[in-house]
Structure 1
Amino acid sequence: MNASTPTRGVDLARQIVVLSALSFMLIAAVIGAGAFGNSAVEDQQGGALDTDGSYLAPAGPAFSIWSLIYLGLIVYAIWQALPRQRANPRQRALGWLIALTMTLNGLWLVTARFGTLFLTVVVIVLLLAALGWTFRVAVATREPRGGVVDSVLIDGVTGLHLGWVTLATVANTAAWLTTVVPPSWEQGADAIGITVLIVVALIGLAIAWRSSWRVAPALALAWGLGWLAVERFSGSPQSTPIGITAIIVAVVVLLVPVAVSGMRLLRPSID
């Protein structure tokens, strides 16, 4: 516990809420994986959320990143529950927000199972907004950091979550639109897909810029874009132009923050 900061009753409540949000998210994830005999997420909503649900859906292996994100959130929830973290100013600033992102994460899975495809879009947009705000607070807060553990479990995990959900929001929205737009729109799928991916590139660079060129969101976003390219080259529906664009965007959103961060690290030694 921070000896210079007195503990308040709301601090313990925050720790409990974070653990409760984690439990809800994990239970929803287990159900969403089809562990109890129900259909898995990709088989729900008439298969619209599967890898062939739209031209902007990544291949199946892309979703393995959830294991890393969930692991990071589990470790964070346990770490923030330690007595010494109870009055930590960083936890006070971010604990409630991270709990909100985990709750919305679980709510998306519940919506995919029991709601409509449009409602999944609404929830994932809310999740994206919550993650964006949380990551912004995490990198902008002036409160003292707790070293490597703090940076990895707060900035790193939230950044990965944000980067992946950025692409997931695009894929989810594209899946919904595919079910409601006229079939004739497929003739312009390549042009629409390329345009959307250019916007994704701008969003990815904006996230990097606003976070002082943190790399975590770019890693998750580039991972998803790479598997999107794989699906467009070898899966269904196929689109070589979208696949090539996805690769270019993945390289740009990853290399730019890496390059800028590298230059910042080298600058002191150069000076």
Structure 2
Amino acid sequence: MSTVTARRSSDLLRQIVVLSAVTFMLIAAMVGVGLFGGTAVQDLQGGALDSDASYLAPASSAFSIWSVIYIGLIAYAIWQALPGQRTNDRQRALGWLVAVTAVLNGVWLVVAQYATLPLTVVAIVALLVALAITFRRAVSTRSRGDGAIDAILLDGVTGLHLGWVTVATVANTAALLTQSGPESWASAADVLGVVVLIVVGAIGLGIAFASTWRVTPSLAIGWGVFWLGIGRLGGEPSSTVIGVTAMVVAALVVVVPIIVAGLRLIRPSTD
């Protein structure tokens, strides 16, 4: 087999694997919402993953962002399978990585459904690492000529996925610590919650800076932290200080990258 033929076979395999990975993720998601006899995520692990399970759990409305992420991944899977994308250099650089993130997304739901809470933390950290690598690769391979669809379905969707999973990792870890830690930890919940939120804000701004101020990770982080604040201000467990801190962090994480990105767009026209 010639090198060219082998490369084309690898390209076709990549397209099939991406479609298969996203399909697996969607099936796992349907199980995760209680279809096919599965238990809904909020009822798994003794309710540890519900929106009122810890001080760092976002309100239930926050999870609607999954619909946007899933629609984006479905659109990407279909788009990358088109013949015109088969030999695209960015698809070669990112397709396999996107497939890994889709599989790990589904794996988390399977682990949450059938394994233990500590293993869900391991699974979501693995997903977070894979998304960070994928987003970094997306930023480093991006060029002006790649087009709007490419920007939305690769950089945009991956950025949203990364941002939301950053918040979800915090919530998942907090759920584990809440369930397994001593009751005395509750007395320090406000202080710890504020510290964690400040760290999340720093991570969000760090991702924006490292990606030359891409805004999609910041939008997802801001969305999750905003609803975390709503949960603490209007739900249980209640914490005014965590709720207010979350609102401030959410605003900073979203507004700062938008302003900087806007200035970067304006500056070339004024030179």
1:213 corresponds in structure 2 to 213
CA drift of 1:145 comes to: 4.6
Asked if the contact 1:90/1:144 (under 8 Å) is kept, the reply is no
The AA in structure 2 aligned to 1:91 is Q
CA–CA distance in 1 between the matches of 2:52 and 2:213?
33
CA drift of 1:36 comes to: 2.5
Q: Post-superposition, which runs of at least 4 consecutive aligned residues in structure 1 deviate over 4 A?
A: 142-145
1:180-225: per-residue Cα shift (whole Å, max 9, x none)?
A: 1110110000000000001001100110011000000011111111
Q: Which has the higher helix share?
A: 2
Q: Report whether the alignment pairs 1:136 with 2:161.
A: no
The AA in structure 2 aligned to 1:249 is V
The AA in structure 1 aligned to 2:55 is Y
Q: 1:247 to 1:179 in 2, by over 3 A?
A: same
Instruction: Give the TM-score normalised by the residue count of structure 1.
Output: 0.96
Instruction: Give the TM-score normalised by the residue count of structure 2.
Output: 0.96
1:111 corresponds in structure 2 to 111
CA RMSD of superposed structures (Å): 1.5
Asked if the contact 2:38/2:113 (under 8 Å) is kept, the reply is no
CA–CA distance in 1 between the matches of 2:67 and 2:142?
30
The AA in structure 1 aligned to 2:250 is A
Q: Which runs of 5+ in 1 are unaligned?
A: 1-5
CA drift of 1:20 comes to: 0.6
Q: Report whether the alignment pairs 1:248 with 2:248.
A: yes
CA drift of 1:266 comes to: 1.3
2:203 corresponds in structure 1 to 203
The AA in structure 2 aligned to 1:184 is S
CA–CA distance in 1 between the matches of 2:192 and 2:23?
39
Q: Which runs of 5+ in 2 are unaligned?
A: 1-5
Identical columns (%): 64
Alignment of 1:124-163 (within 5 A): 124-141=124-141, 145-163=145-163
Equivalences, count: 268
Q: Report whether the alignment pairs 1:50 with 2:50.
A: yes
2:187 corresponds in structure 1 to 187
Q: 1:142 to 1:252 in 2, by over 3 A?
A: closer
CA drift of 1:265 comes to: 1.1
The AA in structure 2 aligned to 1:95 is G
The AA in structure 1 aligned to 2:50 is D
Q: Report whether the alignment pairs 1:21 with 2:21.
A: yes
